[in-house]
């Protein structure tokens, strides 16, 4: 099959027998139905990156001329080993932008944010933390809170742009505790932001996992994947010629991934691991830019109202404004008009 699209952007077409798809990603592939049409063929899926506890999933590619209940006459294909990370990396490294439809990244950046991913242990529970902050979302949606400024809605201290240089990513954290937080990375509008996602050893020795990081509100260029701890001199590995434009990218065990995006979309945007339990264990951050350009945010967004609004409606407004739902702001107006 030929991979032609990733996360809504064309890629330089390349052929594969199988592909790694991580939570949050999308791909389009093309293939030709040129096999013996009196047979059916297996399509299989299996777990990557964590020891499987379920059998391989199977379905059948059925040629119209053949009964869909006819089993293929060969055994199902055998998946690559779940922990063959070199195999997974080789797939990621085949993905390049198709330059006829995709812009190139800016050659320089204004701000670089390095995000260390650690597994932590807080109050007796396993958590994830980014630069030692484990995200706990505030009850008031960020968009309304930033616009109308109830300063106690979320941490006013921004989270750190990097981590202590002496941190050893090849071992479990020496101090496994971390803090809860919900501060925001406030980005200057229309600036170019580099994000270096730095993986590390989890709580168990010699364990580091794949995490698919997903950004709302933007696409980013995936400039490079690297091993070990990122240093400035790794910049020479950055692909500024034809990096793929994505909204999800993984970090591989004990490695780093370099991303670049332009902060040109007014709003408050989650950036988080797309393995949902990891997000709810704190593996995320929030970026915000140009909130002053978002003109019509209803005051109800922060729970104040001159009208009598039912509890259910207030909840609907909060859900619609929550950046994690990706609901358009127009959904809020539709709800409000129903009661006026």
| Closest CB 88 distance from Cu ion, rounded Å | 15
Is the CB of 285 or the CB of 336 nearer to Cu ion?
285
Strand residues in the chain grouped as ranges (E):
2-6, 9-15, 27-30, 41-45, 57-61, 111-122, 125-130, 133-135, 179-181, 185-187, 192-198, 211-215, 220-227, 245-246, 248-251, 255-262, 267-273, 284-289
Task: Determine if 273 is a binding residue for Cu ion (CB under 5 A).
Answer: yes
Is the CB of 249 or the CB of 275 nearer to Cu ion?
275
At 316 the three-state DSSP class reads helix
Is the CB of 251 or the CB of 336 nearer to Cu ion?
251
Length of the chain: 340
Nearest to 49, CA basis, from 199, 198, 196, 169: 199
Task: Determine if 275 is a binding residue for Cu ion (CB under 5 A).
Answer: yes
295 by Cβ neighbours in 10 Å (0-12 / 13-18 / 19+) ranks as exposed
**41-49, 158-166, 274-282, 307-315 -> range binding Cu ion (CB under 5 A):** 274-282
Contacts with 300 (C-beta within 8 Å, 6 or more apart), sequence order: 309, 314, 317, 336
Is the CB of 211 or the CB of 214 nearer to Cu ion?
211
Is the CB of 273 or the CB of 301 nearer to Cu ion?
273
Size of site (CB under 5 A) for Cu ion: 4
**227-235, 258-266, 267-275, 316-324 -> range binding Cu ion (CB under 5 A):** 267-275
Out of 127, 211, 260, 272, the residue judged to bind Cu ion by CB under 5 A: 211
Out of 278, 282, 284, 286, the residue judged to bind Cu ion by CB under 5 A: 278
Task: Determine if 332 is a binding residue for Cu ion (CB under 5 A).
Answer: no
Binding site for Cu ion (CB under 5 A): 211, 273, 275, 278
């Amino acid at each position: 099959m030929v991979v032609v699209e990733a996360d809504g952007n064309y890629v330089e077409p390349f052929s594969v027998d199988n592909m790694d798809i991580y939570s949050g990603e999308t791909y389009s592939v093309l293939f030709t139905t040129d096999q013996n049409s009196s047979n059916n063929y297996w399509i299989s899926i299996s777990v990557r990156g964590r020891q499987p506890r379920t059998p391989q999933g199977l379905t059948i590619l059925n040629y119209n001329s053949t009964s869909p209940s006819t089993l293929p006459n060969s055994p199902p294909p055998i998946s690559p080993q779940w922990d063959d990370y070199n195999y997974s990396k080789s797939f990621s490294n085949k993905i390049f932008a198709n330059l006829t439809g995709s812009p190139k990244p800016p050659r320089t950046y204004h701000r670089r944010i390095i995000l260390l991913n650690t597994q932590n242990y807080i109050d007796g529970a396993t958590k994830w933390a980014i630069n030692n902050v484990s995200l706990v979302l505030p009850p008031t949606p960020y968009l309304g809170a930033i616009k109308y400024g109830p300063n106690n809605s979320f941490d006013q201290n921004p989270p750190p742009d990097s981590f202590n240089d002496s941190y050893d990513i090849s071992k479990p954290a020496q101090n496994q505790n971390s803090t809860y937080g919900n501060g925001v990375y406030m980005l200057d509008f229309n600036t170019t932001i580099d994000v270096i996602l730095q993986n590390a050893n989890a709580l168990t020795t010699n364990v580091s996992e794949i995490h698919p990081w997903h950004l709302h509100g933007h696409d980013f260029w995936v400039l490079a994947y690297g091993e070990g701890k990122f240093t400035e001199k790794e910049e020479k590995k950055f692909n500024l010629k034809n990096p793929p434009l994505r909204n999800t990218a993984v970090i591989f065990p004990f490695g780093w991934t370099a991303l670049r995006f332009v902060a040109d979309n007014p709003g408050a945007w989650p950036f988080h691991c797309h393995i949902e339990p990891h997000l709810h264990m704190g593996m995320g951050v929030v970026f915000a830019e140009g909130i002053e350009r978002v003109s019509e945010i209803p005051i109800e967004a922060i729970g104040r109202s001159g009208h009598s609004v039912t509890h259910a409606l207030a909840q609907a407004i909060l859900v619609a404004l929550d950046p994690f739902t990706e609901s358009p702001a127009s959904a809020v107006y539709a709800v409000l008009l129903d009661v006026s």
